Amino acid sequence: MCQPLVQRYAVNIYLKEEPSKETFIFLETGTCMVYKPKENRWAAVGWEINYIGTAICVIDNVMYCYRRNKVIEWYGDKENCWKILKGLEELPKLPSGVTLVNYGGRIAVSWDTRTCFKMMIWCAEITLEKRLNEHEIYGKVEWCDVVLTVPRSLRLHKKLIVVISV
């Protein structure tokens, strides 16, 4: 009897704030799929992406990614290429292990830094502005600061950014 062929892929799933919104799935192969709950179907997204970085968020159907070259980039699907998010000179040099989240149409960035005795969790909020008929996107760092300091001996396994609307 023949066994079915099973292939495993690393999958990253990114949800928007509301469960009724689209869910994006990025496969290791560079393929991007989107689930459309109103239509109850999956569809391929025209993003042909060779490499996705370590952190991704999608805002207004634009994918933002923190990549190995330690910059935040966005994917221009009209040009089918990655572009650097300009205007982030005020943002400190980011280490690996950065998290990007859609924070009400802005990017919330979190990361940690460590000294001999303590670990500091940082957060920054970046507003976005499309320019030149959407061929360029600029970011503006609204604020950037340490939001939590803990002893370095404390083991934090995951950082979680939660957005609560009141």
pLDDT, the chain, mean: 76
Q: Quick check: is 141 in a domain?
A: yes
Residue pair 138/125 in contact (Cβ under 8 Å)? The answer is no
Residue-level pLDDT at 143 = 94
Q: Is residue 160 part of a domain?
A: no
**Residue 165 located in a structural domain:** no
pLDDT number for residue 123: 93
Residue 103 lies in a domain: yes
Q: How confident is the model at residue 164 (pLDDT cuts 50, 70, 90)?
A: very low
What's the domain range around 119? 11-151
124 within a domain of the structure (yes/no): yes
Lowest mean pLDDT among 97-101, 143-147, 161-165: 161-165
Report the CATH number that the domain containing residue 132 is assigned in CATH. Answer: 2.40.128
Q: Are 96 and 48 in contact (CB under 8 A)?
A: no
Q: Is the model's pLDDT at 157 over the cut of 60? A: no
Higher pLDDT, 140 or 71: 140
Question: How sure is the predictor about 56, in pLDDT bands with cuts at 50, 70 and 90?
Answer: confident
Q: Which residue has the higher pLDDT, 157 or 142?
A: 142
Q: Is the pLDDT of residue 35 over 90?
A: no
How far are the Cα atoms of 57, 94, 111, 157 from residue 117, in angstroms, in the given order? 32, 20, 17, 18
For range 110-125, the mean pLDDT = 90
HSE on the CB side for 123, CA within 13 Å? 13
| Residue 42, in any domain of the structure | yes
| Sheet of strand 106-114: strand arrangement | 99-103, 106-114, 118-131, 136-151
Q: Give the pLDDT confidence score for residue 70 in this predicted structure.
A: 75
| Greatest mean pLDDT among 33-42, 144-153, 154-163 | 144-153
pLDDT at 7 > cutoff 50? no
Half-sphere exposure of 116 (CA within 13 A, CB side): 0
Per the structure, how many domains does the chain have? 1
Residue 86: band (very low, low, confident or very high) from pLDDT cuts 50, 70, 90:
very high
Q: Assess contact for 119 and 108: CB atoms under 8 A.
A: no
**pTM: predicted TM-score of the whole model, two decimal places:** 0.69
